[in-house]
């Protein structure tokens, strides 16, 4: 970036719990960003104090040197208005473009010192509610400094078609309802620690994982589910073709590993039965930790991933396979075609889908997403014969496997490491920061159309609102608090919105009686840390706590 300024985010990036692709990607991105260290500080705004404290501990443990240099500032979302007003941010980057990006743009427009770039990354794009979420991007407050970062060409096209369809359906024009810029930057992998095992180390790893020592081992790694990311059945059908053509199934071994829900036991038994019918040795590894995961990638011969589900957008496991110098057999689908160089680093099997998904589209908002994903995926066919042909070539030719694995590793190191990915983000942020500055005052006056204007919408709920028609004075309890003989109760959830100093000033100003709005204005003038809204909140809160009372008529 052109100057060292803080980086901001609303997302944790480092999370504990089960290993999921999104978590792995977010952590890899932050590792590389901290390693490159293009900013003078990194500000994280967490949803609650509990999550703030968790993130502080996770960052300190993962990046002790950066923590010792004071690089991290961990806050809550309630601290965001003051931070935006006081800090000249270089960029806010979000780990996804769905949940918060347009709302953050509205907060920036209203509160920030400058119109800094805001970017967010795509992950899964196929959930039924995402039409509503992407509609939020199309509003007059979107600027040329905002961007959605698609991880693949296919993902970028999905977002572009979403924006096009939303504008068409709601009668919006690009001039009045601009969209964020669409950029394409892939995900990455840190190749350190990924490698193919050799010799005795390989034999020991296979023994530990239950893989026959001499078999050609095929690894499928991901969520073990027929309705998420990929249906594993075509892999078994491809092997069945090989066996029918004369391949000895005992010379192969299929390893399926990854996340499996507690309810998946029946499906796992089905997979065992199908493999048993073929005579194919099958190893199932559910919920492996990172150490076991890398051991599996190092011990096998071929990586197979036949994505057929729109829930998949990129394909991080393909990069991990390339880091481990494995040839990849994948479906020619979504972001996979950006990753695999067909015939050089592996093989892409053609896919065929339906042109019209009308009945699915109508039902999707009324159904569970996993049910919709299942039906959509079952309407997408991977060319099983092509998969079988690729597996046959690789099983029969160890030299081809080694050559493709080495080419995949080289391709990864040239274009898909996290360091390369972060460098691309930095270039994007620089280009966004150089975009023409929008009309600042026009943006400041815009509210996001999906934001609930509580005061306006619920105006009919209270008997009356704060105005100069209401005269207030301090109460008996207020006098006691002012003199230090009583103490107000401020709930933790207010997040510092009540200032004890401002409260004493308020009670002093109200001692002789004062119209309500005038009292708020006098408090704001006396306390530079409060604007008129915050001062009015203090007035009403003090009345709620019986520290102020209405003057008798």
Note the pLDDT of residue 259. 86
In a domain, 193, yes or no: no
* 411 shares a domain with 290: yes
Confidence of residue 342 (pLDDT cuts 50, 70, 90): very high
230 and 286, same domain (yes or no): yes
Q: Are 166 and 275 in a shared domain?
A: no
Q: What is the pLDDT of residue 1?
A: 43
Looking at residue 93, its pLDDT comes to 98
**To the nearest whole number, what is the mean pLDDT of the chain?**
94
**Distance between CA 239 and CA 244 in Å, rounded?**
9
Domain count, the chain: 3
Average pLDDT value for residue range 24-43: 96
Judged against a pLDDT cut of 80, whether residue 174 lies above it is answered with: yes
Q: What's the angle, vertex CA 350, arms to CA 346 and CA 351, rounded to 5?
A: 130
pLDDT for 235: 96
Instruction: Let me know if 521 is exposed, middle or buried by CB neighbors in 10 A (0-12, 13-18, 19+).
Output: middle
Which comes out higher in pLDDT, residue 260 or 112? 112
Do 289 and 359 sit in the same domain of this protein? yes
Q: Give the residue-averaged pLDDT of 121-133.
A: 95
Q: What is the pLDDT of residue 241?
A: 96
d(CA 26, CA 15): 9
Q: Pick left, alpha or beta for residue 436 (phi over 0 → left; psi -120 to 50 → alpha; otherwise beta).
A: beta
The answer to whether position 93 is within a domain reads: yes
Q: Cβ(10)–Cβ(92) under 8 Å?
A: yes
Give the pLDDT of residue 19. 64
Q: What is the CATH number of the domain that holds 410?
A: 3.40.50.2000
Answer yes or no: is 449 within a domain. Answer: no
The pLDDT of residue 534 is 94
pLDDT at 224: 86
| Range 284-310 average pLDDT | 95
Residue 164 and residue 259 in one domain: no
How much of the chain exceeds pLDDT 70, in percent? Answer: 99
Please report the pLDDT score of residue 4 as a whole number.
66
For residues 220 and 290, state if they share a domain: yes
Q: What is the pLDDT of residue 227?
A: 76
Examine the domain organization and report whether 271 and 255 are in the same domain.
yes
Q: How many CB atoms lie within 10 A of CB 169?
A: 10
Q: Is residue 519 in a domain?
A: yes
Residue 391 and residue 252 share a domain: yes
Mean pLDDT calculated for residue range 393-398: 97
CA 461 to CA 383: how far, in whole Å? 62
Indicate if 167 and 97 belong to the same structural domain.
yes
Q: Are residues 322 and 344 in the same domain?
A: yes
Task: Indicate whether 2 pLDDT > 90.
Answer: no
Q: Which domain holds residue 531?
A: 454-550
Residue 22's pLDDT band (cuts 50, 70, 90): confident
């Amino acid at each position: 970036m052109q100057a060292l300024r803080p980086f901001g985010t609303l997302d944790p990036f480092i999370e504990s719990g089960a290993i999921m692709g999104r978590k792995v990607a977010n952590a890899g991105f932050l590792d590389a960003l901290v390693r490159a260290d293009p900013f003078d500080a990194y500000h994280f705004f967490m949803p609650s104090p509990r999550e703030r404290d968790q993130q502080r501990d996770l960052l300190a443990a993962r990046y002790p040197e950066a923590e010792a240099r004071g690089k991290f500032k961990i806050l809550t979302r309630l601290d965001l208005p003051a931070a935006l007003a006081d800090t000249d941010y270089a960029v806010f980057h979000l780990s996804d473009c769905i949940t918060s990006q347009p709302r953050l743009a509205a907060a920036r427009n209203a509160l920030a010192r400058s119109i800094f770039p805001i970017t967010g990354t795509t992950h899964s794009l196929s959930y039924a509610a995402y039409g509503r979420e992407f509609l939020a991007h199309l509003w007059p407050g979107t600027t040329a400094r905002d961007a959605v970062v698609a991880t693949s060409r296919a993902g970028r096209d999905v977002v572009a078609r979403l924006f096009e369809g939303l504008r068409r359906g709601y009668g919006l024009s690009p001039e009045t309802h601009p969209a964020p810029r669409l950029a394409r930057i892939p995900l990455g992998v840190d190749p350190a620690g990924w490698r193919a095992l050799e010799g005795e180390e390989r034999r020991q790893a296979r023994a530990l994982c239950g893989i026959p020592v001499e078999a050609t081992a095929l690894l499928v790694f991901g969520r073990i589910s027929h309705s998420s990311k990929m249906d594993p059945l075509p892999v078994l059908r491809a092997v069945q073709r090989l066996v029918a053509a004369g391949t000895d199934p005992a010379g192969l071994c299929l390893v399926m590993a990854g996340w499996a829900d507690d309810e998946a036991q029946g499906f796992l038994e089905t997979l065992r039965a199908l493999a048993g019918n073929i005579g194919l040795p099958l190893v199932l590894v559910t919920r492996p930790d990172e150490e076991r995961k890398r051991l599996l990638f190092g011990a096998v011969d071929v990586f197979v991933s036949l994505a057929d589900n729109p829930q998949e957008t990129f394909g991080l496991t393909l990069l991990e396979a390339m880091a481990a110098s494995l040839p990849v057999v994948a479906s020619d689908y979504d972001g996979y075609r950006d990753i695999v160089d067909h015939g050089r680093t592996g093989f892409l099997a053609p896919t065929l889908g339906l042109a019209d998904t009308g009945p699915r589209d109508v039902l999707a908002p009324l159904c569970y997403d996993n049910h919709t994903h299942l039906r959509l995926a079952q309407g997408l066919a991977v060319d099983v014969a092509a998969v079988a042909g690729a597996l046959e070539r690789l099983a029969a030719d160890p030299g081809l496997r080694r050559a493709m694995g080495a080419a995949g590793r080289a391709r990864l190191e040239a274009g898909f490491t996290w360091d390369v990915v972060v460098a691309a983000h930095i270039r994007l942020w620089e280009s966004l920061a150089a975009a023409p500055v929008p009309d600042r005052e026009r943006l400041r006056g815009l509210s996001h159309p999906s934001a609930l204007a509580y005061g306006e919408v619920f105006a009919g709920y209270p008997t009356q609102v704060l105005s100069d028609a209401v005269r207030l004075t301090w109460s008996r309890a207020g006098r006691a608090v002012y003199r230090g003989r009583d103490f107000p109760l401020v709930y933790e959830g207010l997040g510092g919105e009540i200032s004890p100093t401002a409260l004493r000033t308020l009670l002093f100003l109200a001692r002789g009686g004062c119209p309500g709005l005038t009292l708020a204005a006098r408090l704001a003038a006396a306390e530079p840390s409060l604007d008129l809204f915050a001062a009015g909140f203090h007035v009403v809160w003090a009345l709620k706590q019986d520290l102020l009372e209405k003057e008798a008529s």
